[in-house]
Structure 1
């Protein structure tokens, strides 16, 4: 019973008062990344909704204004799908609107652009006559391009692109869905090819007439046979089908087919699927921006396929800019980080597990301090409510928290999200650590994380401090177990506490006593490793023990996948990944399902391994 209780105390330490949680906020700023030295940049253009996102894209891409704009319905894709080539021809942003009227922000953006002309896409069912009147009232000349249905509208837009002598290549895509048209839109726009919509088996009369009236030398048929049938394809002039089994496979096939025409200095990423069936908006707004730069547009839904990620990475340059269109709910930060990780040569298995785990943490809502640290260290956006709730908690306590480990843990979380724990809401949490008279009461874990917290930002301690680094090191060494490890309350080494102590001592290995203790502790951990590569605490194989060992080893420059930590062909890293659960995240024990604490510790461990493997950063808890 004593052993179980001791293990429980260690677990409680890692979660103690870390309940200053916070909800997911799609507009939160990104936290500092562990890979901040990488020249590949991660950017995001977004607003509070699809209309505001289109305005943000306009502001980003047309800083100096535009004589012409394209106005399209933001909640019905039918008429809007074919607008990108027209917008590219007139160097016009695509601005989305509701059916009945332009809102105030849209009108302000049109004035900023100093637009004189506007193409209004679709009939009155798409954009009402009130929209026309609003444009005229602010001095913009509107021209409606619309037919009786989406097919006729696509032809009207095609006619506006040029006369019969100017159009030789065309795109034919399904009018029953938006994904295929979105995938080809930036490329069609950059090449001046109209996008003509069709039914699956029958070419609409308007589309057929348009094609017959022109000398078309090439037809790109987009999508699989479920979108455009083989019989229809064969009726089109010099047709080439570009498609895949899914919308995302089609997107990749398009990028591969036009690879030589694309410039990978910029890569745009947008949502291409979802439960509502109208998740086309951000990709449509961004298609002209991508076309202007001949940049690829990557469609995703919650995650990016390994094949697409590998293709993008294989064509990226060291200064490529990855830009998400829309908030983090539609394009998670984890997708951008996954691409950067792969570009750096990090393990694709580790990268995928990290991406899924961070997405799971964020989807669960309120985050504790350790989760905030894990998410930020991965490079994803920490919800803004974290700091709000933490600020309220600190203010309510007037800076006086319950335990030394509270100050230590919160210090690490604040450092991860780019805040100064020496001056947070007017309180100096660092001083609360080095002058804390209660550290002895909490014992080894308080010594360990006091040292880690002080080193996280190279914080200075005055000569008269209650706790200096030397005192903390001495206390950690004094608390070694007889078998050369550390434990919270037992006489024999525990892998969790030993891993934590190794993290704290890592910066001081040039001191003989520390080096001797670290070397012996590493040997002890190797001898404690289970036959499957994992670690057990109190006879229970669990992922948290493995995570702490991996972090301790990586902090000391030791590969957790080295021969010393490989048993029966299984490394410590293999063992940790075996605890991954369906849907993302990690379990405490195998087959026990998702566990929040196990997941945040696994994310920290895998990110520590990524940092070790790529030689980026100085440690999972080192921020300066």
Structure 2
């Protein structure tokens, strides 16, 4: 087993070191990032925010991959999953590329496809709002997306199933840019309480990815994941608990009893670490609007 719990209680004092260690692992294991939810945009975003300096060509390799795909598909990233555009936009912004002009195509246009995105659900709409705010653009359906998230989250929070934690975290992330809205503020408060109630005694949300999603969203909302009493349980804080999934080589496991590194878990953990690193600045997503 690769699990390495040592140093778990010192993460708050060693965020930079751990972030760089995990970023180096991701860089080595994703040498040619693609347009993909694993080994793609989240790896690029994490490395870009981590503080390490990859080879000059690393981000260009990814950008060339995006350009080639867009050119060959005449502007398309994915014909069915429009959430892929949001993910690509987030990565392009992270590496200083203009998502409104990739081989002459505007990658932000598909963010206006309300029917397709809402059919995909909370995660697609949440990251659509993140991508729009990161790009500094206003969407025609922006308010409708916000209202969709509020409605969907209210429904999930009324059921209070423990299987909703990821959706609530992503919904909170998407709504983090709209806290002046009273209905958003109310569902945000309820969502934070739900996550606190669902947090386990060991401080985690049950697995690495869910813990990471909660960390990212809460920090974006100004919650200190190390000291906020709502997220400090019997065996530690939400922030420190991420290290329960740490492997010896900088990678992360999906579950505490996992026996091998998990790429998705590692990339999500890297994003969570970058969020912690940027906690005093407001979190992982700056937003230009």
Q: Identify which of 212, 224, 238 aligns with 1:572.
A: 238
Q: Take 1:451 and 1:486, find their aligned partners in 2: how far apart are those partners?
A: 25
1:480 equivalent in structure 2: 153
- For residues 347 and 478 of structure 1, the distance between their equivalents in structure 2, rounded to whole angstroms, comes to 35
Give the unaligned 5+ runs of structure 2.
1-10, 34-39
Name the TM-score, length of structure 2 as normaliser. 0.85
Residue 348 of structure 1: how far off its partner (Å): 3.7
Give the structure 1 partner of residue 255 of structure 2: 589
State the shift of 1:420 in Å: 0.9
**Superposition pairs for residues 148-163 of structure 1, below 5 Å?**
none
Q: CA deviation at 1:524?
A: 0.7
Q: Name the CA shift for 1:357/1:598 in 2 (closer, same or farther; >3 Å).
A: same
- State whether structure 2 residue 134 is matched by structure 1 residue 456: yes
For residue 245 of structure 2, give the secondary structure of its aligned residue in structure 1: coil
Name the SS for the 2:129 alignment partner. Answer: helix
> What is the correspondence of 1:381-400 to structure 2 with a 5 Å cutoff?
381=53, 383=58, 384-400=60-76
Structure 1 pair 444–483 and aligned structure 2 pair: CA distance change class (3 A): closer
Counterpart contact for 1:499–1:548, Cα < 8 Å: yes
1:361 corresponding residue in structure 2 = 26
Aligned counterparts, 1:306-321, within 5 A? none
> For structure 1, which runs of at least 5 residues remain unmatched after alignment?
1-345, 537-541
Conserved in 2, the CA contact under 8 Å of 1:416 and 1:623? no
Map Cα deviations across residues 205-257 of structure 1 (whole Å, 9 max, x no partner). Answer: xxxxxxxxxxxxxxxxxxxxxxxxxxxxxxxxxxxxxxxxxxxxxxxxxxxxx
Distance 2:127 2:116 in 1: 13
1:2-13 to structure 2, matched below 5 A, reads: none
Structure that is richer in strand per residue = 1
User: Is 1:350 the counterpart of 2:15 in the alignment?
Assistant: yes
Partner of 1:471: 144
Aligned partner of residue 18 in structure 2, secondary structure? helix
SS of the residue corresponding to residue 172 of structure 2 reads helix
- What is the CA–CA distance in structure 2 between the aligned matches of 1:407 and 1:452, rounded to whole Å? 12
- 1:96-118 Cα deviation digits (max 9, x unpaired): xxxxxxxxxxxxxxxxxxxxxxx
Tell whether the 8 Å contact from 1:457 to 1:622 is kept in structure 2 after alignment.
no
1:486 Cα deviation after fit: 9.4
Cα distance in structure 2, aligned partners of 1:486 and 1:543: 24
- 2:254–2:262 contact (8 Å) kept in structure 1: yes
Q: CA deviation at 1:493?
A: 5.5
TM-score, normalisation: structure 1: 0.40
- Alpha-carbon distance between aligned partners in 1 of 2:276 and 2:32, rounded to the nearest angstrom: 26
Q: CA deviation at 1:349?
A: 2.3
Determine the C-alpha separation between the residues in 1 that align with 2:163 and 2:118: 20
Map 1:119-134 → 2, pairs under 5 A = none
- Number of matched pairs: 263
Within a 5 Å distance, the mapping from 1:231-246 to structure 2 comes to: none
2:84 aligns to what?
406
| Higher share in helix | 2
Q: Are 2:275 and 1:608 equivalent residues in the alignment?
A: yes
Alignment partner for residue 499 of structure 1, among 154, 158, 169? 169
Aligned-partner Cα distance in 2 for 1:485–1:449 = 23
Q: 1:396 to 1:381 in 2, by over 3 A?
A: farther
SS of residue in 1 equivalent to 2:153: coil
* Compared CA separation, residues 374 and 395, structure 1 to 2 (3 A): same
1:511 aligns with 2:181: yes
Identify the residue that residue 377 of structure 1 maps to in structure 2: 49
CA displacement at 1:523 relative to structure 2? 0.6
Residue 481 of structure 1: how far off its partner (Å): 4.9
Matches within 5 A, 1:530-569: 530-536=200-206, 542-561=207-226, 562-569=228-235
Q: Once the 2 structures are TM-superposed, how far is the Cα of residue 436 of structure 1 from its aligned partner? A: 5.2
Question: CA separation in 2, counterparts of 1:436 and 1:385?
Answer: 31
Q: CA RMSD in A?
A: 2.0
CA–CA separation in structure 2 for the residues paired with 1:601 and 1:576: 11
2:3 counterpart residue number:
none
Structure ranking higher on relative contact order (CA contacts 8 Å, 6+ apart): 2
Post-superposition offset of 1:350: 1.9
**Structure 1 residue matching 2:247: 3-state secondary structure:** coil
Provide the rounded CA distance (Å) in 2 between the counterparts of 1:623 and 1:399.
Answer: 25
| Aligned position for 2:105 | 427
1:520 to partner: Cα distance: 0.6
Residues 485 and 494 of structure 1 are in contact (CA less than 8 Å); yes or no, is this contact kept in structure 2?
A: no
The answer to whether residue 116 in structure 2 is matched with residue 438 in structure 1 is yes
Matched, 1:525 2:198: no
Aligned partners of 2:154 and 2:187 also within 8 Å: no
Shift of 1:437: 4.1
Specify the SS of the correspondent of 1:387.
helix
SS of the aligned residue for 1:504 comes to helix
Distance in 2 between the 1:551 and 1:417 partners?
19
Q: Deviations over 1:432-487 (max 9, x none)?
A: 212454113212222111111111122133xxx3xx21110000011125452799
